[in-house]
Amino acid sequence: MRLLHISDIHFGIETYSRVDPQTGYPTRLLDFMYAFDRAIEAAMEMGVDAVLFTGDAYKSRDPNPTVQREFAKRIQRLASNGIPVYLLTGNHDLPSMSNRAHAIEIFQTLYVPNVYVAREIGLTVIQTKSGPLQVVALPWVTRAGLIAREEYRGKSMDELNELMTVKITNALNAFITKLDPQIPAVLAAHATIAGSVWSSERSIMLGQDLVIQKSMLSAARFDYVAVGHIHKHQHFEVDGVSIVYPGSIERIDFGEEKEDKGFVIVDINDPGGGLASRNTVWSFNADHRTRPFHTLELDIKQVESDGLVNPTTAIIQALQREAIRWENGLNEAIVRVKIKLRPEQEGQVREDEIRRVLHEMKVYLVAAISREVDKPRRTRLAGLEVEELTPLQLLEKYLQSKQVDSRRIEILLKHARDIINPMGSQ
């Protein structure tokens, strides 16, 4: 049985966008759409039996109709080609109030064939062309959705987290014990697993995470554990079972510029004989057509302004050297430029000229051009830099420079010491 594991599509992110003249869509929305299309093409070419999507279909819990339509078109394409799609709700898919519909509930409401939606912890058996597949769901869990109001009373945050942990573990175990060991089984979760490494998407997360311990997952009862929520691809091995984050399908911002993006193909080999005899192999398929992000750090402090190589010329030359570092140069990349320079060079930097050169390099977008001016070193007192002196030492040096009587300096320092350290601490 072959599965496509994909996650964190985040349709609707428009940061660093322009308006596409042909479609009228934000160009970054197109980036995410095309990345999903490439994953779907790969799934169909590789003959997958089912698609596991582990949460965060949209950027926000209230996606606009256009974004919803584009996501639905792609799910329908898979489903209409006989590929079951399992949709797990993530934190970005859930409404602010538990009694409201979530962003992907429409598939369940309309009973779309071959599409399964999981909002609660539970067990679903999916029929695929290679036989049944058991999927236990651990969607994004909120405190309000799991803990009754009276259980909140008088409890600290740590106590509430402990109570949630117990409830999640018990709820999972209730379904895990129902698994048929003769049928392939996976756990689909949208959560923060203990020991995982974060990207920069923490800045767009909603709410505070509950960290799930690996022991809660009962990994040994599954052939594979599919996880979403963290945008950085990574995996763990627990009890001989892989716990895998495929990561997001496109880069969100510069915090992800060095990360590969893509999806995971999972093969569950079943020679017969149950769970003990099955073997699972998975591979991460990097998508090299995702939008590149590049941070260009240029240091021109050593360049002399002699009329031959002025600061702007030096910056342009440095940009040309930077472009050589990348396989496709800076073509279609989102870039930010960080320039280190001396104070007297700052006024000679022509930002319009820098942007013109970047445009000629076919950069997709210049996110920012920032300047870091090397401040001159401050006056030395008694052989020390000012920054190295304590407030009391600075006061003493100042009073000495004003030729204040030594006995008065001693009195003033005593009063200053009492003000700075009123409790007498050193």
In this predicted model, which residue has the larger pLDDT, 209 or 75?
75
Fold that domain 2-286 belongs to in CATH? Purple Acid Phosphatase; chain A, domain 2 (3.60.21)
Residues 280-309 have pLDDT tens digits of 999 999 999 999 999 999 998 887 655 557
CA distance 318 to 300: 9
The candidate with the shortest Cα–Cα distance to 330, out of 371, 286, 292, 370, is 292
Residues 333-352: what's their mean pLDDT? 92
| pLDDT tens figures, 305-331 | 555 578 999 999 999 998 888 878 899
At 384 the pLDDT is 58
* Residues in the chain, total: 426
Show me where the domains of the chain are located. Answer: 2-286, 293-373, 384-420
* Residue 102 confidence class, pLDDT cut points 50, 70, 90: confident
Whether 104 has a pLDDT exceeding 90, the answer reads no
- Kindly report the pTM of this predicted structure: 0.82
Burial 133-165 (b: 16+ CB within 10 A, else e): bbbbbbbbbbbeebbeeeeeeeeeeeebbebbe
Q: Is the pLDDT of residue 379 over 80?
A: no
Q: What is the torsional sign of CA 303, 309, 310, 312?
A: negative
The pLDDT tens digits of the residues spanning 238-268 come to 999 999 999 999 999 999 999 999 999 999 9
pLDDT (0 to 100) of residue 204:
39
Whether pLDDT at 206 is above 50: no
pLDDT at residue 387, rounded to an integer: 59
Selection from 13, 31, 10, 16 nearest residue 335 by Cα: 16
